[in-house]
Amino acid sequence: MSADRYSRQSFLGPDAEELIARYTVAVPGLGGGGSHIVQQFAHIGFQNYVLYDGDAVEESNLNRLIGAKQADAMAETPKLHLAKMMIYDLQPHAKIRGFACNWQEHPEPMRECQIVIGCVDSYKGREELEIACRRYLMHYIDIGMDVHGTDRPVIGGQIIQSSPGGLCMRCMGFLTDEKLAQEAARYGKAGARPQVVWPNGVLASTAVGMAVDLVTGWTRKCRSHAYLVYDGNEGTVSESITLRNLKTPCRHFSTADVGDPILVEL
């Protein structure tokens, strides 16, 4: 390995390369957002991955799925395979545990991670990931985008950091019973929402930046939580107004409620 490889990111700290290589990251969902994430993680130098996605490349993915080619849609290449190849091309010695399924079918490998970046479509999926991250002590970073309206479309999105001991997505006003109920009324389907490559890139890049900061601490911000809102029409990322005056500890998760759930006989 050339000493020059990471010379342009030396500002991250003298031990950054070793720290980045030591930690394990999980990416459930390897579509429009997740494909950006794994590509950037591999460039930065992450070596340990737990990946989940059971889907194969389709024609409709080619507008945004990083690494996908026309031939992949024709061959129905698994998205997991694309992600692995993207990582191995940059990091031949990476340790990748990949699962062509939802993370809930093989949750145990994810529990070893320090950071999970969730790239799932539904509120329910986000809620379940956050619960797992609190129970097994992992930083959870969520990204998602949506396009609202048709006459004057508005692109919106979010990047959220929910960490053990910090404010959760309910505290921050992102997850609500109303949103979950509306989604449940649609039988849990997020639907075929509009998705384009550039907002995914902004959201994924911001999330990767958060993850690198958690690993290296280079900004010295020591964030316990974050909720950034993306306005795709204005091209801005700013802190959510819901965080203003929000200083109370998390009311939804206790740091004592960790580990395997125990069934108590009454």
Q: Enumerate binding residues for other proteins (CB under 8 A).
A: 19, 21-23, 47, 106, 108-109, 111-112, 114-115, 135-139, 163-165, 213-217, 221-224, 255-256, 258-260, 262, 264
State the Rg of the chain over Cα.
18
Question: Shortest approach of other proteins to residue 61 CB, angstroms?
Answer: 29
Question: Shortest approach of other proteins to residue 159 CB, angstroms?
Answer: 16
Question: Shortest approach of other proteins to residue 22 CB, angstroms?
Answer: 5
CA dihedral of residues 234, 159, 120, 125 (deg, nearest 10): -120
Q: How far apart are CA 61 and CA 38, in angstroms?
A: 17
Question: Shortest approach of other proteins to residue 38 CB, angstroms?
Answer: 19
Please identify, using beta-carbon distances, which residue of 64 and 225 lies nearer to other proteins. Answer: 225
Q: In this structure, what are the phi and psi dihedrals at residue 228, rounded to the nearest 5 degrees?
A: -105, 135
Q: What angle separates helix 123-135 from helix 177-185, to the nearest 10 degrees? A: 130
Question: Shortest approach of other proteins to residue 219 CB, angstroms?
Answer: 10
Q: Which of 202, 98, 113, 203 is nearest to 164 (CA)?
A: 113
Please identify, using beta-carbon distances, which residue of 136 and 227 lies nearer to other proteins. Answer: 136
Please identify, using beta-carbon distances, which residue of 177 and 260 lies nearer to other proteins. Answer: 260
Question: Shortest approach of other proteins to residue 197 CB, angstroms?
Answer: 30
Please identify, using beta-carbon distances, which residue of 43 and 135 lies nearer to other proteins. Answer: 135
Please identify, using beta-carbon distances, which residue of 153 and 249 lies nearer to other proteins. Answer: 249
